[in-house]
Structure 1
Amino acid sequence: MQPPQVAVITGAAQGIGRAIALSLASHGYSVALGDISSNQQRLKQVADECIELQKSNSTHDLKTYYGACDVSIESQVESLVEAAVNQLGGIDVMVANAGIYGAAPLLEISDELFDRLYAVNVKGVLYSYRAAAKAMIPRGGGRIIGASSMAGMSGHPNHGAYGCSKSSVRTLTQTAAREWGRYNITVNAYAPGAVDTNMSKLSFVEPSIKLPIDLTSKITSPEDIAGLVAFLVSPAAKNITGTIDHYSTPHPMNNYNRTGNPNRRWNNHVLISTESSIAYKYNV
């Protein structure tokens, strides 16, 4: 019997991160959960939920680890990955979910807010991707998934800094997909519009303003994103890499750009690239 796979999830104490942790635990993964120090009580509750799901959904000896991890500090990200390797047996999946939100007009945004958004949303993703890849290469590969956003696709008032940080995640994701495909590592990102989380609600300061609905007339939930992640780490998605999936696009996107050469190959992985919710796959 093969040992269970191991997933590391950052920003796992609430919202999308919590939903992803519970989903992967229910799918038979051992999980290593990280979040900032002030969220440790909530993170423990998520860990306890994962343990119960693991007990009821798998015959494997699944394990759950949780600990403090500020993704803007590279050593803490490395420590979380090391804990997954040493206590859970390795790392097969990294979900670089941790992120923060901040809004201000360009004429008023402070260096402090701009730098903090980049420290968490950009450097935090870079540190997570890099630490995971270093641990995955000796194991023969893995799946890496990041958190981008529709805000990174085009400019919106008051979202210049936040949008720039999420656009950078798209660039990091597609660059990593090109560089690490040879190691059997796939790298993708989810880039939803508004999701029903506390962080999303911060962007709607008027209580009367409701979260936007997607094209199916539904509000996207954290569990919807968790379902997408479960697919991206499944065997069915083994050839999907370099994809930025706009799961809950609330309006049609125009002028999709394919980035990727259909004649390039990386260790049997096909580079696919989309700027929409549909993956354009080049068959080889």
Structure 2
Amino acid sequence: MSSNLFSLKGKTALITGGCQGLGLEFARALASAGANVAITSRDVEKAENAALELSNQYETTISGYAVDVLDAKQIDELVKRVIDEFGSIDILINNAGVNIRKPLLDYDEKSWDLVQETNLKAPFLVSKAVAPHMIKQRYGRIINLASMLGMVGLAERSAYCSSKGGLIQLTKVMALEWAEYNITANAICPGPFATELNQVVINNPEANQFFLDHLPIKRWGKPDELAGLIIYLASEASSFMTGSSIVIDGGWTVE
């Protein structure tokens, strides 16, 4: 199989929440495959610094933008700006997310709404803004960052589990509605990865051991272990895959 099948040269990717954690790893992976990358954050300085860091490592064009992914007007302005500056958006990675851990009976409405809106409403808004451009060019790759917790439950993650389960279903609808335009939509469902978002668990010996006991591999995932999958889903190699949810979780959901 030719390595050109995985080449992203000449393609442009938009990644929400791309300045840290898995989002930054996705940006690094796509740039390594030749893609130009637009990364976002609510903090323009963080986005621009992350873009500068990557630009020093790769020969592709990488830029940072500020956007609130819960603000439809800001999203529309972002999409227009990225298209104006890059010429197209070929790959969209809905990565921005949040997790608030509380027992169900202690979960307040404000926290619930923040998790649902960030993890589920934002991918809807961003995809809705990008899709008309992809439809017009009759090409697109949409990758939604869901979670293994969209498939299995975990105590104190009621909002997170339900939002990620909803995102898996939203991905399926995107796949059905946009397939005729050569747009694929797939979800990645990571298990426990050692990112900033999970440091509170990793740093708690009891909680950390609970996670390790549920992982046949007996360790947390490393962010760069998602690089191959993100390149695959963004490239021509995955042209016949759409509506799928790919679990990469160290074996957690096997049992």
After TM superposition, the score normalised by the length of structure 2 is 0.89
Is the contact made by 1:26 and 1:50 (CA closer than 8 Å) also made in structure 2? no
Give the gaps of 5 or more residues in structure 2.
1-7
Tell me the secondary structure at the aligned position of residue 121 of structure 2. helix
Residue 25 (structure 2) aligns with: 19
Within 5 Å, which residues of 2 pair with 1:210-225? 210=208, 212=212, 214-225=215-226
Query: Which deviates further from its counterpart, 3-12 or 94-103?
Result: 3-12
Q: How does 1:122-271 map to 2 (within 5 A)?
A: 122-204=120-202, 206-207=204-205, 209-210=207-208, 212=212, 214-253=215-254
Q: Report the equivalent of 1:53.
A: 57
Whether the aligned pair in 1 keeps the contact of 2:99 and 2:115 (CA below 8 Å) is yes
Preserved contact between residue 55 and residue 62 of structure 2 (Cα < 8 Å):
yes
1 or 2, which has the higher helix percentage? 2
Aligned to 1:54, what secondary structure does the other structure show? coil
Match of 2:82 in 1: 84
The AA in structure 1 aligned to 2:46 is: R
Which deviates further from its counterpart, 166-175 or 203-212?
A: 203-212
Number of equivalences: 245
In structure 2, how many angstroms separate the alpha carbons of the residues matched to 1:3 and 1:215?
Answer: 37
Q: Look up the SS of the partner of 1:53 in the other structure.
A: coil
* Structure 1 residue 233, shift from structure 2 partner: 1.1
Per-residue CA deviation, residues 209-235 of structure 1 (Å, 9 max, x unaligned), is: 435385444431221123211111121
Q: Which residue does 1:35 correspond to in 2?
A: 41
Q: Which residue of 2 aligns with 1:274?
A: none
Contact 2:9 2:35 in 1 (8 A): no
Say which structure, 1 or 2, has more relative contact order (CA 8 Å, 6+ apart).
Answer: 2
What do the CA deviations read for 1:110-155 (whole angstroms, capped 9, x no partner)? 0000001111101111112212211111111110001111112122
Q: In the alignment, which residue of structure 1 is the partner of 2:48? A: 44
Measured in 2, the distance between the counterparts of 1:3 and 1:216 equals 35
Identity of aligned residues (%): 31
Cα distance in 2 between the residues matched to 1:24 and 1:3: 9
What is the RMSD computed on CA atoms of the aligned residues?
Answer: 2.0
Structure 1 unmatched ranges of 5 or more? 56-61, 255-284
Which residue number in structure 1 is paired with residue 111 of structure 2?
113
